Chains A and B, each alone.
Chain A
Amino acid sequence: MSDASIHSQVPENEASFGDYFALLKPRVMSLVVFTAMVGLLAAPGGVHPFIAFCAILFIAIGGGASGALNMWYDSDIDQVMSRTKSRPIPSGKVTREEAFAIGMTLSVMSVVMLGLATNWFAAGLLAFTIFFYVVIYTMWLKRWTPQNIVIGGAAGAFPPMVGWAAVTGGVSVESVLMFTLIFMWTPPHFWALCLFMKSDYKDAGVPMLHVTHGRAVTRNHILVYTLLLAAIAVSMAFTSIGGWIYLTVAVVMNAIFVAGAVSIWRRSDAQCEADNHKREKSFFGFSLLYLFLHFGAILAEVALAPYGLGGW
Chain B
Amino acid sequence: MNFPEQHELHKRRFGRNLGVALALAAFVVLLLGLTVVKVTRGDFEPASVQQGATNG
A binds B: yes
Residues of chain A within 8 A (CB-CB) of B8 are 7
Q: How many positions in chain B have a CB within 8 Å of any CB in the partner chain?
A: 15
Question: How many contacts between A and B, using CB within 8 angstroms?
Answer: 37
For A51, the closest partner residue in chain B by CB is B37
Q: Shortest Cβ distance from A219 into chain B, in angstroms?
A: 45
For A57, the closest partner residue in chain B by CB is B30
Contact B9 A17 (CB under 8 A): no
Chain A 106-120 residues near chain B, CB threshold 8 A: 116-117
For A6, the closest partner residue in chain B by CB is B9
Give the distance in Å from the alpha carbon of A182 to the alpha carbon of B19 in the complex. 33
| Segment of A8-16, A29-37, A136-144, A228-236 in the binding face | A8-16
Contact A17 B20 (CB under 8 A): yes
Give the distance in Å from the alpha carbon of A10 to the alpha carbon of B9 in the complex. 9
* A50 touches B (CB below 8 Å): yes
* A48 touches B (CB below 8 Å): yes
Contact B9 A50 (CB under 8 A): no
Contact A54-B9, Cβ < 8 Å, known A17-B19, A17-B20, A48-B41? no
* A3 touches B (CB below 8 Å): yes
* B42 touches A (CB below 8 Å): no
Across the A-B interface, give the 7 residue pairs with the lowest CB-CB distance, nearest first.
Answer: A17-B19, A17-B16, A50-B37, A48-B37, A3-B7, A50-B33, A16-B15
A-contacting residues of B (Cβ < 8 Å)? 7-9, 12-13, 15-16, 18-20, 30, 33-34, 37, 41
